């Protein structure tokens, strides 16, 4: 997401971090470019900032809340919120979400209570409620560094308007979008040999690829066909693909790694077989992109050259996006 934001004219990335649950990218946007981040499929939420502060300036929830909710910054932020979400009324409902990296000094619930009090004092006609019209978030995105903002998005952006049929262990759409982006510019067929509910196929189509997939589970095939009706989805074994050599432009997959779905036999041996098949069906110059915690070097066939890898956190589990060039 940081790379995509940095490539948008009028957007300047100023900082990054992690609040214990999600990665953060802080940026400034020219007035005419405010909508651009809202169109990125790798973004789960967008906020307009109301303030920042440091624990070093007073590690106390009451002081932090009073420093971070700055009325002179809140009003312009509310103007942006009203433009992007809905017109403001004189009386609004609000709620507060807090995330901190450590609770030795105070509990996050204490900071939440203090920020609710500060907001209620500043906006006397607002009423606390859950759910609410306005969400104010405060996050410690780096040790000792806190930022607060008003949420401009909702779950529809995070889920890309949702799947028709949900399946346990389904990949988050934003991660699938990042993987598809790493496959390069659309240039034909993007193939997923473990397509599950079809999330990668849906993101591939959204980016302009022709999407094809297989899965060994007949239930997954039926679900993927419903979720991505314009994709070609068939039953098949990732270790023995019924496809011609060099028949796809890119292969992208979230391979099973023992959390939700198991594989038969030794994982390293299975990965070696699947990677060899993905390399075989991918044309030279194409990309192979995988999501897996570990890929032993011995499992990577000679036809694949490591290009990049990105460590991410997915539902509390550390994993990695692996990117290979097909030579």
pLDDT single digits (tens) 104-139: 999 999 999 999 999 999 999 999 999 999 999 999
Place of tokens 């890119």: 250
- The string of pLDDT tens digits covering residues 130-186 is 999 999 999 999 999 999 999 999 877 666 555 656 666 678 899 999 999 999 999
Q: Which residues pair with 146 in a beta bridge?
A: 53, 140
User: For the segment 5-24, what is each residue's pLDDT rounded down to a tens digit?
Assistant: 878 899 999 999 999 888 89
Per-residue b/e over 73-109, b at no fewer than 16 CB within 10 Å?
bbeebbebbeeebeeeeeebebbbebbbbeeeebebe
Q: Where in the chain is the domain with CATH 3.40.50.150?
A: 173-326
Which residue intervals of the chain bear CATH 3.30.2130.30?
2-157
CATH number, span 2-157: 3.30.2130.30
Q: Is the predicted pLDDT of residue 265 greater than 90, yes or no? A: no
Helix (H) or strand (E) holding 207: helix 199-207
**What is the pLDDT at residue 313?**
80
258: confidence class by pLDDT, cuts 50, 70, 90: very low
Q: pLDDT value at position 261?
A: 46
Q: In whole numbers, what is the pLDDT of the chain averaged over residues?
A: 91
Q: What is the rounded CA–CA span in Å between residue 51 and residue 150?
A: 10
Find the mean pLDDT for residues 50-57: 96
**Which superfamily does 173-326 belong to?**
Vaccinia Virus protein VP39 (3.40.50.150)
Nearest CA among 289, 292, 290 for reference residue 318 = 292
Q: What does the alpha-carbon distance between residue 280 and residue 304 come to, in Å, rounded to a whole number?
A: 10
CA atoms of 216 and 234, how far apart (whole Å):
9
Helix (H) or strand (E) holding 102: none
Q: How many CA atoms lie within 13 A of 79 on its CB side?
A: 7
């Amino acid at each position: 997401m940081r790379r995509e934001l940095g490539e948008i004219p009028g957007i300047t990335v100023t900082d990054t971090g992690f609040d214990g649950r999600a990665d953060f990218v802080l940026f400034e946007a020219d007035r005419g470019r405010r909508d651009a981040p809202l169109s990125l499929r790798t973004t789960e939420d967008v906020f307009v900032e109301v303030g920042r502060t440091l624990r070093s300036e007073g590690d106390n929830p009451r002081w932090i809340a009073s420093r971070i909710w700055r009325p002179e910054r809140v009003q312009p932020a509310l103007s942006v919120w009203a433009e992007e979400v809905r017109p403001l009324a004189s009386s609004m409902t609000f709620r507060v979400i807090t995330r901190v990296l450590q609770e030795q000094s105070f509990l996050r619930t204490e900071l939440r209570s203090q920020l609710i009090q500060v907001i209620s004092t500043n906006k006397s006609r607002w009423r606390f409620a859950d759910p609410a019209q306005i969400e104010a978030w405060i996050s410690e995105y780096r040790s000792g560094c806190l930022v607060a903002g008003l949420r401009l998005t909702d779950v529809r952006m995070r889920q890309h308007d949702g799947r028709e049929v949900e399946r346990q262990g389904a990949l988050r759409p934003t991660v699938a979008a990042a993987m598809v982006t790493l496959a390069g510019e659309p240039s034909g067929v993007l193939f997923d040999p473990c397509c599950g509910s079809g999330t990668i196929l849906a993101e591939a189509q959204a980016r302009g690829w022709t999407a094809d997939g297989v899965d060994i589970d007949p239930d997954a095939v039926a679900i993927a066909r419903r979720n991505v009706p314009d994709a070609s989805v068939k039953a098949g074994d990732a270790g023995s693909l019924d496809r011609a050599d060099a028949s796809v432009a890119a292969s992208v997959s979230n391979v099973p790694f023992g959390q939700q779905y198991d594989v038969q036999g030794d994982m390293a041996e299975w990965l070696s077989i699947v990677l060899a098949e993905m390399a075989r069906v991918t044309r030279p110059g194409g990309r192979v992109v995988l999501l897996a915690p570990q890929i032993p070097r011995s499992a990577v066939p000679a036809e694949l050259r490591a290009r990049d890898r990105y460590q991410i956190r997915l539902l509390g589990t550390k994993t990695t996006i692996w990117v290979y060039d097909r030579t």
